[in-house]
Amino acid sequence: MCGRYASARKKHELLEEFQVEQDASPDEELSPDYNVAPTKRVYAVLSRVPKDTERGDSGGESEARAASRAVRQLRVLRWGLVPVWAKDPSIGSRMINARLETVAEKPAFKKAFASRRCLLPADGYFEWMPVEGEKKKKKQPFYIHPEDGGVLAMAGLYEFWKDPTRAADDPLKWLVTCTVITTQAEDDLGHIHDRMPMMIERERWAEWLDPKLADTEQASRLLVPADSGRLVAYPVSTDVNNVRNNGPHLIEPQQPEEESALF
């Protein structure tokens, strides 16, 4: 699974890196976060048709929508997808990951997979590996990131949830949430954890984000695991275990206590 990651790039860097056309959360800029955890607010890149052309007067799909172009946006969402049918938004804390193998069929994710796909920018992510031979069960955290220092574009889904207890004009009426799609870890990283976030390569960004691409089989073909060797991993401080800890020291290499037991 992917339960923690680092996202320290500034908003203007992400706007440029992902060639974003619209800052859809102009009043909110997130601080660098080296310990992104479930339910936190995170940046997401997505494409949507402008609101004024989304629906016609009758409430059905309008000619304007059919002819309009989706605009690439940067939004701030909450990590942990809340399905549209959920009665309680707390379900999102259990929906931080969607498995590639079942994402197109699971009720919580299949509609989002068909038309609400996104990219979740990250500098790297954390996984924990059990340390053998310890009297007390222990896990060593590892930081996994691109060898070239580039940004990770994690494949994600987003969803809109309407709070039935709030008035129609309440700005908090709608909650927008997201999840990370995960896949089987490649051989180089599988010894740490058997799952890893699915990455979308730059040349596939536009197609992955296209809300008009409703063919889930075609969307699935865009999900190709990262090339072997593109990501590197090293042990880091157990300070990352506590979500209250933050800062660049969390991604600094550390010598594992039982190196012989880790490799």
Domains of the chain: 5-262 (3.90.1680.10)
Of the ranges 165-174, 237-246, 249-258, the best mean pLDDT one = 237-246
How confident is the model at residue 59, as a pLDDT?
43
**What per-residue confidence (pLDDT) applies to 253?**
96
In the block, which residue shows the tokens 């498995």?
99
pLDDT at position 134: 55
**Whether residue 127 lies in the annotated active site:** yes
> Which residue of the set 61, 63, 101, 127 is catalytic?
127
* Euclidean distance between CA atoms 242 and 245, whole angstroms: 6
Lowest mean pLDDT among 37-46, 137-146, 159-168, 221-230: 221-230
Task: Identify the pLDDT of residue 193.
Answer: 85
**Contacts of range 241-249, beta carbons closer than 8 Å, 24 or more positions apart:** 241/141, 243/4, 243/35, 243/37, 245/35, 246/33, 246/34, 246/35, 247/34, 248/8, 248/32, 248/34, 249/34
Structure tokens belonging to residue 10: 């500034």
| Distance (Å, whole) CA 13 – CA 227 | 25
Q: Between 227 and 102, name the one with better pLDDT.
A: 102
**pLDDT at residue 157 above 60?**
yes
The catalytic residue among 2, 118, 159, 178 is 2
Contacts of 92 (CB under 8 A, 6+ apart): 38, 39, 78, 80, 81, 82, 86, 177
Distance CA 36, CA 137 (A): 25
Residue 250 has a CB neighbour count (10 Å cut-off) of 22
Q: Is 104 exposed, middle or buried (0-12, 13-18, 19+ CB in 10 A)?
A: middle
Report how far apart, in Å, the C-alpha atoms of 11 and of each of 28, 61, 178, 196, 258 are.
9, 33, 18, 25, 39
Residues 22-79: tens digit of each pLDDT: 999 999 999 999 999 999 999 999 999 987 544 333 344 444 444 588 999 999 999 9
- The owner of tokens 């275990």 is 241
Instruction: Let me know the angle formed at the C-alpha of 119 by 199 and 47, rounded to the nearest 5 degrees.
Output: 140
- For residues 251 and 56, which has the higher predicted lDDT (pLDDT)? 251
pLDDT recorded at residue 63: 46
What pLDDT does residue 187 have?
Answer: 65
Task: Provide mean pLDDT across the span 208-217.
Answer: 89
Is residue 156 over pLDDT 80? yes
pLDDT given for residue 186 in this prediction: 72
| Whether residue 161 has pLDDT greater than 50 | yes
Q: What local confidence, expressed as pLDDT, does residue 190 receive? A: 77
Give the pLDDT of residue 133.
63
Question: Is 2 labeled as catalytic in the residue annotation?
Answer: yes
Confidence of residue 263 (pLDDT cuts 50, 70, 90): very low
Which pLDDT score, from 0 to 100, does residue 261 have? 41
Judge whether 249 and 141 are in contact, CB under 8 Å: no
Model confidence pLDDT, tens digit, residues 116-135: 999 999 999 999 998 876 55
Smallest CA-to-CA distance from 43 within 29, 54, 57 is with 29
Query: What is the structure's pLDDT at 54?
Result: 41
For the chain, the average pLDDT equals: 88
Query: Which region among 125-139, 208-222, 241-255 has the lowest average model confidence (pLDDT)?
Result: 125-139
Whether the CB-CB separation of 116 and 210 falls below 8 Å is answered with no
- Other Cβ atoms within 10 Å of 53 Cβ, number: 15
What is the Cα–Cα distance from 189 to 195, expressed in whole angstroms?
A: 9
**Rounded to whole angstroms, what are the CA distances from 21 to 28, 48, 51, 74, 116?**
17, 11, 15, 8, 18
